[in-house]
A and B are shown apart, each in its own frame.
Chain A
Amino acid sequence: MCECSCADKKDIYLPALATVSKQELLNDTEMYLHLQLDSGEPLGHAAGQFVEVSVAGLGEAPISVSSSPTQDGFELVVRNVGSVTNAIHNLKAGDKLGIRGPYGSGYGIDELKGKDLVFICGGIGLVPQRSLINYVIDNRGDFGAVTILQGTKDYTQRFFTDELARWDAMDDITMLETIDEAHPEWSGNVGVVTTLIPKIDIDLTQAAILVCGPPIMYKFVLITMKEKNVAKENIFVNLERRMKCGVGKCGHCQMNGQYVCQSGPVYRYSDLDNIPEAI
């Protein structure tokens, strides 16, 4: 048994308070929040990490940090799917939230440096990817060509549209967007996100492919990448699990022997070879 003094150890389940500095409903289901920790400290996250967001009386939910570590404060985007997330949708500027974390392994920036990056995002898969995209933009010289593919189910669910337009206007970013079903207001590409892959004009076999979207999307993206001879080592997937405690104890997020809250949620696809429960 450990011989150290427990009194010196912090309580891993104790949330810190953060204040909502800005909130905005992005579409019918996605709420954007900008937060600052009340301690005045930065969150100190890496791109791809998540936090446990706490609403007193209702519980906690694991939410990806959407902002780049290079930005002031931090941002979350929350879909209202349960009691905690519904309560988050009712927050106003000045309201408080509990925050634990950041948790998880993040993207592993050093491995991506110098590489061409292809972001493949489905729906709210854009939210965690955005933390890395904006990090890359703020450290543009460290990375090669950047291509962003965004697929959304229908036109009305698109969000961060101003930001997508800003990325699209950048000379050193290729932004491709599609929606699954045609809409009178939409003149762009129609079809699932994989229909954009043939339009990428870089050598995919030399790029890092970063994928985040609904479970079904991974299957089709991974098949396409196999056809394009992209090595599994160069594909990074962002997996969703019920990360209840965030600290590798409660067992809910376990995927075979992996605790997603610790070793994930971002995984190199080749590391999942012996993890049949992964996708």
Chain B
Amino acid sequence: MSMKKISKTGFGEFITHIINTDGNVYGVQAKTEAKGDRFAFGPLTSADDLRLDYDVTLSPPKKYLLPPKETLVKYEVGGGYESSICKCKSILIGVHPYDLVAIKQMDELFSQDEYDTHYMTRRRNTTIIACDVAKASPNVFASSMGTATVTDGYDILLTDIGGAYVAHAATEKGEALLTEAAPSAGDATEADIAARKAVQDKNDTGLNQHELKCGPADIPGLLEKGYDSPVWEEKAATCYSCGSCNLTCPTCYCFDVQDDVAWSLKEGARHRAWDGCLLENFANVAGDHNFRKKREARYRHRLYRKGSYIPKKLGGEIACVGCGRCVGACLPDIANPVAVYNQLLEETK
């Protein structure tokens, strides 16, 4: 697949062309008014609004693949059920490598065992234009997790090399889009490719505001010994059970299923909506019995899901990609996975 160079002046045309294609186009934009100097994915209507120099978005791009609320089936009350599968086409612009790793994990989790047509249809209809990280966010630790750069998982990857972007198409879909939207882009020179590599090399070690003192592959072993560690109770002592860590996590995908009935009382829909294992009633069963009643049990469950349970479904890959969003979102400042894993490492020395 090709490696093209798009000049900064030609880049606006490239993005404008994409905005004008059919389907929804979402890109990273600054949220200067409402959220201060922060960034978010949102519908992109102008190339000028796109900010590929962002550090991290408030919430991950997973919302376009697993929407916060999504209709699964529609029904007539007392009658039959009908699948509701969204077939709309989308293009995401500006997805960072760590978020790509998270999306790749969700692709596997929603397709293995029981195949989830709702997620997978959206995924197959989504084109991802990723970009290498241009600025480290205050809490990123992707370098520790080995997720600071990627070689696949995107259709096109953009790397800002100063005066231009290097665009790498990794799929047929990406190649076609690149040819169509940037017809005048020439092949990247050796110097451009070297500049691209320099950006990636820098990110491989430089996106590390919290340093994990072991390799990610050591995490399952640490957790195997750490189930009764005091760390769970210590950290969870100030947990609000608010679920912000779940909400901002690119690899959290637990959901609740709810029914709504229309005013006519004749028809309705069944939705799934994001849920969070830190929320108090997550493991409630009939009769109000809660299988994870204590905060420390819920807090521990999240870290075990990321570092032990989900990796077993992913061939060992850790389900924490080091985006650092949970660290920033957690009010009592207890969510940092690196702090927990490092403490476990100390305890087991």
Within 8 A of A (CB), among B179-221: none
What are some 9 contacts across the A-B interface (CB < 8 A)? A14-B72, A14-B83, A57-B261, A60-B257, A81-B286, A82-B286, A98-B81, A254-B301, A257-B304
Check if A92 is an interface residue, CB within 8 A of chain B: no
Question: Which of the residues A15, A60, A250 comes within 8 Å of B275, measured between beta carbons?
Answer: A250
Task: Provide the residues of chain A in CB contact with B259, threshold 8 Å.
Answer: 56-59
Q: Hey, what's the 0/1 contact readout for B70-110 against A, CB within 8 Å counting as 1? A: 00110111111111010000000000000000001001011
Knowing A12-B116, A13-B270, A257-B312 are in contact, say whether A56-B76 is a contact too (CB < 8 A).
yes
Question: Which of the residues A14, A15, A254 comes within 8 Å of B309, measured between beta carbons?
Answer: A254
Looking at chain B's contact residues, the main secondary structure is mixed
Q: Hey, what's the 0/1 contact readout for B259-297 against A, CB within 8 Å counting as 1? A: 101000100101010010100001111110101100001
Check if A144 is an interface residue, CB within 8 A of chain B: no
Task: Provide the residues of chain B in CB contact with A2, threshold 8 Å.
Answer: 107, 111, 115, 120
Check if B256 is an interface residue, CB within 8 A of chain A: yes
Knowing A13-B270, A241-B285 are in contact, say whether A56-B117 is a contact too (CB < 8 A).
no
Check if A1 is an interface residue, CB within 8 A of chain B: yes
Q: Are B85 and A241 in contact (CB under 8 A)?
A: no
- Give Cα A14 to B312, complex, Å: 28
- Give Cα A254 to B312, complex, Å: 14
- Give Cα A159 to B112, complex, Å: 41
Question: How far in angstroms is the closest Cβ of chain A from B79?
Answer: 7
Task: Provide the residues of chain A in CB contact with B257, threshold 8 Å.
Answer: 13, 59-60, 244-245, 250
Question: Which of the residues B115, B258, B285, B312 comes within 8 Å of A242, measured between beta carbons?
Answer: B285
Interface size class of B (residues with CB under 8 A): 35 or more
Question: How far in angstroms is the closest Cβ of chain A from B334?
Answer: 21
Task: Provide the residues of chain A in CB contact with B291, threshold 8 Å.
Answer: 241, 255, 277
Q: Are A249 and B308 in contact (CB under 8 A)?
A: no
Q: Are B253 and A249 in contact (CB under 8 A)?
A: yes
Q: Hey, what's the 0/1 contact readout for A81-106 against B, CB within 8 Å counting as 1? A: 11001000000000110100000000
Question: Which of the residues A54, A215, A276 comes within 8 Å of B289, measured between beta carbons?
Answer: A215
Q: Point out residues on B near A: beta carbons under 8 Å.
A: 72-73, 75-83, 85, 104, 107, 109-111, 113-118, 120-121, 123-124, 227, 253-259, 261, 265, 268, 270, 272, 275, 277, 282-287, 289, 291-292, 297, 301, 304-305, 308-309, 312
> Other than the known A13-B118, A13-B270, what 6 A-B pairs have Cβ atoms closer than 8 Å?
A14-B82, A82-B286, A250-B256, A250-B275, A251-B305, A276-B227
Q: Are A15 and B255 in contact (CB under 8 A)?
A: no
The total of Cβ contacts below 8 Å across the A-B interface reads: 139
Looking at chain A's contact residues, the main secondary structure is loop
Task: Provide the residues of chain A in CB contact with B289, threshold 8 Å.
Answer: 215
Q: Which residue of B lies closest to A60 (CB)?
A: B257
Knowing A59-B258, A277-B292 are in contact, say whether A242-B270 is a contact too (CB < 8 A).
no
Q: Are B116 and A1 in contact (CB under 8 A)?
A: no
Check if A256 is an interface residue, CB within 8 A of chain B: yes
Q: Are B81 and A9 in contact (CB under 8 A)?
A: no
- Give Cα A95 to B78, complex, Å: 8
Q: Which residue of B lies closest to A96 (CB)?
A: B78
Task: Provide the residues of chain B in CB contact with A271, threshold 8 Å.
Answer: none
Within 8 A of B (CB), among A220-279: 240-242, 244-245, 247-252, 254-257, 262, 276-277
Q: Hey, what's the 0/1 contact readout for A104-131 against B, CB within 8 Å counting as 1? A: 0000000000000000000000000000
Q: Are A256 and B309 in contact (CB under 8 A)?
A: yes
Q: Point out residues on A near B: beta carbons under 8 Å.
A: 1-2, 6, 9-15, 17, 54, 56-61, 79, 81-82, 85, 95-96, 98, 215, 240-242, 244-245, 247-252, 254-257, 262, 276-277
- Give Cα A276 to B228, complex, Å: 10
Question: How far in angstroms is the closest Cβ of chain B from A267?
Answer: 14
Question: Which of the residues A61, A242, A248 comes within 8 Å of B114, measured between beta carbons?
Answer: A248
Q: Are A13 and B73 in contact (CB under 8 A)?
A: yes
Q: Which residue of B lies closest to A278 (CB)?
A: B291
Question: Which of the residues A54, A59, A95 comes within 8 Å of B81, measured between beta carbons?
Answer: A54
Question: Which of the residues A1, A58, A79, A254 comes within 8 Å of B123, measured between beta carbons?
Answer: A1
Task: Provide the residues of chain A in CB contact with B312, threshold 8 Å.
Answer: 257
Q: Are B287 and A81 in contact (CB under 8 A)?
A: yes
Task: Provide the residues of chain A in CB contact with B286, threshold 8 Å.
Answer: 61, 79, 81-82, 85
Q: Are B285 and A240 in contact (CB under 8 A)?
A: yes
Q: Are A11 and B83 in contact (CB under 8 A)?
A: yes
Question: How far in angstroms is the closest Cβ of chain A from B76?
Answer: 7
Q: Are A250 and B80 in contact (CB under 8 A)?
A: no
Task: Provide the residues of chain B in CB contact with A277, threshold 8 Å.
Answer: 291-292, 297
Task: Provide the residues of chain B in CB contact with A57, threshold 8 Å.
Answer: 75, 77, 259, 261, 265, 268
Task: Provide the residues of chain A in CB contact with B121, threshold 8 Å.
Answer: 6
Q: Which residue of A lies closest to B81 (CB)?
A: A15
